[in-house]
A and B are shown apart, each in its own frame.
Chain A
């Protein structure tokens, strides 16, 4: 029994980070119908920024979010402006984005390999290896911090979308782009901002990942598969869906990893993707799309 609960705790402690990783990707898809296959590569890019700040100036990776988030926001705004803004009216826009972002992921991987080589990296603040001991259970401090910060960020994003003027404009654009234009929302600007916010979330995720996982430039290949299944399972464009599926799959993967071994854990994500596409392609909280 203790074991079962212990595994549950470990799963939940990872769920928040997965949710943060997928939140930006689902937002970007929801607002612009961009399938951002470079999302994991951007996350790793941010992880390297945190790594570099840690190595050179001993900046705590959590503190370095103050750098990665704004930097990635700007990267997102520029990336959208240069590659997507002029194509937004193309009827095959979403198809185009798949190719463009896939190519971008490869470019990012190449540049990171050149700058940082392919060596496994991670940041090592003091809490990276310390656990919290609560009764018979143990939880790595790093995962607790990462998940709590992730949840705080996602809740802030949700509040921002729900209660601010710009947030409402983003939600309106997600729900009906034409209608948003009709009421005077500048959808081009909203799209650019949303891409920035999506990548700022990726930036935060990168900083947090840097002390809970080891990473190397080509690791994004493994993570994008996981992210795709989280986003699709939640319902593409649904923030709540992405959160739900992240915690759900993190816990399931945690059990799979415990009973069958860590090698089998990734199977959870692909199997979930397979099953959801078979039985409920719009995802848990997604809507059927008409266009």
Chain B
């Protein structure tokens, strides 16, 4: 099966310090992983390295038994691994449909891309409705949806979502997690990086905790969610009594 194995990855930006310091992780096909950890733990760096956008300094990444570290971003896409960046970065002066077409850029087969876009429109009618609108005129939630749909044009086996709920209103966050649930039902392997740890873990099979770019701690998501140390550190349990006091 399409197992992704990350082995002793060391990575950082430019001539800067190492952000990931020998990180190892195994992602099994068909499961949803939620990666949590404090700022600077290297969550986003990890997905960028896997996506081929950042070359690791050491270590290797194996997908289906073949090394993929050192491949260019388009080559990683060819293997069925897609990445949805955290800033919902669309092409602002292209329409929703043109953005989706760019999602199929590496396919070179425009009729296939059109067919995939039609399928996406059936799945997400809102995108069909907005297809001729410039991406910059969409709401934050619609932009995030377009960004995910753009990755779906390639029919990936593994999709990496970097903070999909960042900066969205609670109701919209709910919708985005609804979309992620649809992807789960389709049997995709999902790697979810979330600031909103509780929401992320509730929607995942496995929870992975990163700290200082190395010791990743991996457990079923439910266990992570109820681990008292994790609750204290990332799920804001300690602040509850304070909120209760304030309410009185």
Binding site for B on A (CB under 8 A): 89, 165, 168-169, 171-172, 175-176, 178-186, 287
Kindly identify which residue among B84, B90, B105 contacts A184, using a CB–CB cutoff of 8 Å. B105
Contact A182 B91 (CB under 8 A): no
* Given known A89-B14, A178-B85, contact A185–B94 (CB-CB < 8 A): no
Residue A182 contacts which of B51, B94, B108 (CB distance < 8 angstroms)?
A: B51
B93 in contact with A183 (CB, 8 Å) = no
| B83 pairs with A182, CB closer than 8 A | yes
A182 with B14, Cβ < 8 A, contacts A168-B105, A175-B94 known: no
Enumerate chain B residues within 8 angstroms of A175, measured Cβ to Cβ.
91-94
Name the distance in Å between A236's Cβ and chain B's nearest Cβ: 14
B73 touches A182 (CB 8 A): yes
Give B contacts to A, CB under 8 Å: 14, 51, 53, 72-74, 77-78, 83-85, 87, 89-94, 98, 101-103, 105-106, 108, 150
Tell me, rounded to whole Å, the shortest Cβ–Cβ distance linking A185 to chain B: 6
Q: Which residues of A contact B103 (CB under 8 A)?
A: 183
Q: Choose from B73, B74, B94 the contact partner of A172 (Cβ within 8 Å).
A: B94
CB proximity of A100 to chain B, nearest CB, Å: 20
The residue among B73, B77, B103 with the most chain A CB atoms within 10 A of its own CB is B73
Contacts of B94 in A (CB 8 A): 171-172, 175
Q: How many angstroms between the C-alpha atoms of A5 and B66 in the bound complex?
A: 71
B108/A183 in contact, CB under 8 A: no
How far is it, in angstroms, between the C-alpha of A175 and the C-alpha of B87 when the chains are bound?
14
Bound Cα distance A141, B28 (Å): 71
Please, which residues of chain A bring their CB within 8 A of the CB of B14? Answer: 89
Alpha-carbon distance between A138 and B130 when the two chains are bound, in angstroms: 50
CA A181 – CA B101 in complex, angstroms? 14
User: What residues of chain A lie closer than 8 Å to B74, measured between beta carbons?
Assistant: 184-186
Instruction: Please name 16 pairs of A and B residues whose Cβ atoms are closer than 8 Å in the assembled complex, sorted by A.
Output: A165-B108, A169-B105, A171-B94, A172-B94, A175-B91, A175-B92, A175-B93, A176-B92, A178-B85, A178-B89, A179-B91, A182-B51, A183-B150, A184-B77, A184-B105, A185-B102
Known contacts A168-B101, A175-B94; is-contact A184 B106 (Cβ 8 Å):
yes
Number of A-B contacts (CB under 8 A): 60
Min Cβ gap A194→B in Å is 16
Other contacts beyond A172-B102, A182-B83: 9, CB < 8 A: A89-B14, A165-B108, A168-B105, A172-B94, A176-B92, A178-B89, A179-B85, A182-B51, A183-B77
Question: Is the Cβ of B53 less than 8 Å from the Cβ of A179?
Answer: no
B93 contacts which chain A residues (CB < 8 A)? 171, 175, 287
Q: Kindly state the separation between the CA atoms of A191 and B102 in the bound complex, as whole angstroms.
A: 17
List of A residues within 8 angstroms of B150 by Cβ = 183
Residues of chain A lying within 8 A (CB to CB) of residue B73: 181-182, 184
A178: chain B residues within 8 A (beta carbon): 85, 87, 89
Cα A175 to Cα B92 in complex, Å, equals 7
User: Are A168 and B102 touching (Cβ within 8 A)?
Assistant: yes
Complex CA–CA separation, A141 to B110 (angstroms): 44
Task: A178 to B105: give the CA distance in the assembly, Å.
Answer: 15
Alpha-carbon separation in the docked complex, A287 to B105 (Å): 25
The answer to whether A182 and B105 have CB atoms under 8 Å apart is no
Chain A residues with CB under 8 Å of B105's CB are 165, 168-169, 172, 183-185
Query: A181-B73, A182-B73 given as contacts; is B91 within 8 A of A172 (CB)?
Result: yes
Residue of A nearest to B85 (CB): A182
Distance of A172 Cα from B85 Cα, bound (Å): 15
